[in-house]
């Protein structure tokens, strides 16, 4: 099963549901859909309730983009708990996106978010990735290992986590890793987690995110171990998002 996950970031108003209806219509008529892939869209918090109701009986799942790290309710102005998200009928949340890490989220906090999200029966899409300098200094894998080991604490957790490898230098930049470079990283992450948690490699899911569009997706088709994509900019247009899926299975 592959995943095509759209991260809308700070985009969307109530009428943006039209984008999802178009994606859903494509999915229903696409003969590749059976068992092959799953679509998840992460709109902003403001649209979660409406989208969750509208697409409840469709094949598109809805995800939140983040969640708070403690309590059901509490004096945490401006924050939303996993409990509140789950009560909307939502089953997924992104955690650890680099844009949130850049505003202060560290691995420890991300680990707390993961465990509270899982306790509330949300599956987690955990974002990890190195920046340009770390890549230049050949620190990619040590950065990824640290992000993983400091935020995932048990095998039980790992089963409910989809990992999205998103190099920061690629997000929104139009630059993507080569096929070989990406394949090596994905395989290394799987080997590392397999060794650390003794979970079979086939049960570990790793996606790639960063400037995925209908062109760049072609580079990655041949990577067997890659379990899908986290798509930012191109997920805000139904056509661009659908073209990625079409090109992947062409
Ligand atoms: C993202 O921010 O998760 C992302 C992958 O963005 P983009 O596709 O626009 O690079």
Note the pLDDT tens digit of each residue in 214-232: 999 999 999 999 999 999 9
Atom of ligand 1 nearest to the CA of 233: 9
The average pLDDT across 68-72 equals 97
Q: Is 69 known to be catalytic?
A: no
Whether the Cβ atoms of residue 65 and residue 12 lie closer than 8 Å to each other: no
The predicted structure's pLDDT at residue 34? 66
Give 213 Cα–ligand 1 centroid separation in angstroms: 10
Note the pLDDT tens digit of each residue in 145-181: 999 999 998 888 888 999 999 999 999 999 999 999 9
The predicted structure's pLDDT at residue 11? 98
Whether the Cβ atoms of residue 234 and residue 10 lie closer than 8 Å to each other: no
> What is the chain's mean pLDDT, rounded?
96
Give 125 Cα–ligand 1 centroid separation in angstroms: 14
The predicted structure's pLDDT at residue 153? 85
Task: Show the tokens assigned to 138.
Answer: 């050949």
Residue among 97, 105, 130, 134 flagged as catalytic: 97
177 burial (CB, 10 Å; 0-12 / 13-18 / 19+) is buried
Atom of ligand 1 nearest to the CA of 97: 3
Atom of ligand 1 nearest to the CA of 230: 5
Please name the residues in contact with 216: beta carbons below 8 A apart, sequence gap of 6 or more. Answer: 176
Give 93 Cα–ligand 1 centroid separation in angstroms: 16
Nearest CA to ligand 1 atom 7: 232
Q: Which residue among 233, 236, 243 has the greatest number of ligand 1 atoms within 8 angstroms of its CB, and so is best to mutate?
A: 233
Nearest CA to ligand 1 atom 6: 232
Alpha helices in the chain (DSSP H): 17-29, 33-36, 45-54, 82-86, 98-102, 107-119, 132-136, 140-151, 155-158, 179-197, 217-220, 238-249
Atom of ligand 1 nearest to the CA of 171: 10
Note the pLDDT tens digit of each residue in 49-67: 999 999 998 989 999 999 9
Q: Is 49 known to be catalytic?
A: no
The predicted structure's pLDDT at residue 113? 97
Does the 2-8+40-249 domain belong in CATH 1.10.10.10?
no
- Residue 31 confidence class, pLDDT cut points 50, 70, 90: confident
Note the pLDDT tens digit of each residue in 184-195: 999 999 999 999
Query: What residue spans define the domains of the chain?
Result: 2-8+40-249
Asked whether the predicted pLDDT for residue 205 surpasses 70, the reply is yes
């Amino acid at each position: 099963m592959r995943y095509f996950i759209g991260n809308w970031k700070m985009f969307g108003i109530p009428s943006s549901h039209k984008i999802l209806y178009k994606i859903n219509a494509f999915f229903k008529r696409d003969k590749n859909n059976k068992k092959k892939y799953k679509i998840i869209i992460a709109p902003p918090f403001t649209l979660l309730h409406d989208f969750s109701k509208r697409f409840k009986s469709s094949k598109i799942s809805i995800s939140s983009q983040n969640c708070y790290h403690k309590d059901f309710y509490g004096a945490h102005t401006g924050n939303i708990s996993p409990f509140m998200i789950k009560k909307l009928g939502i089953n997924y949340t992104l955690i650890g996106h680099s844009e949130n890490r850049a505003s202060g989220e560290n691995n420890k906090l991300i680990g707390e978010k993961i465990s509270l999200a899982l306790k509330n029966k949300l599956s987690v899409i955990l974002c990890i990735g190195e920046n340009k300098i770390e890549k230049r200094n050949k620190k990619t894998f040590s950065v990824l290992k640290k992000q993983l080991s400091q935020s995932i604490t048990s095998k039980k957790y790992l089963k409910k986590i989809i990992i999205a490898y998103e190099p920061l230098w690629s997000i929104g930049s139009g630059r993507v890793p080569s096929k070989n470079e990406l394949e090596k990283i994905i395989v290394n992450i799987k080997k590392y987690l397999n060794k650390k948690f003794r979970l079979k490699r086939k049960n570990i899911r790793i996606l790639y995110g960063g400037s995925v569009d209908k062109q760049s997706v072609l580079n990655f088709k041949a990577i067997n171990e890659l379990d899908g994509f986290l798509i930012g900019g191109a997920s805000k247009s139904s056509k661009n998002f659908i073209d990625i899926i079409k090109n992947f299975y062409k």
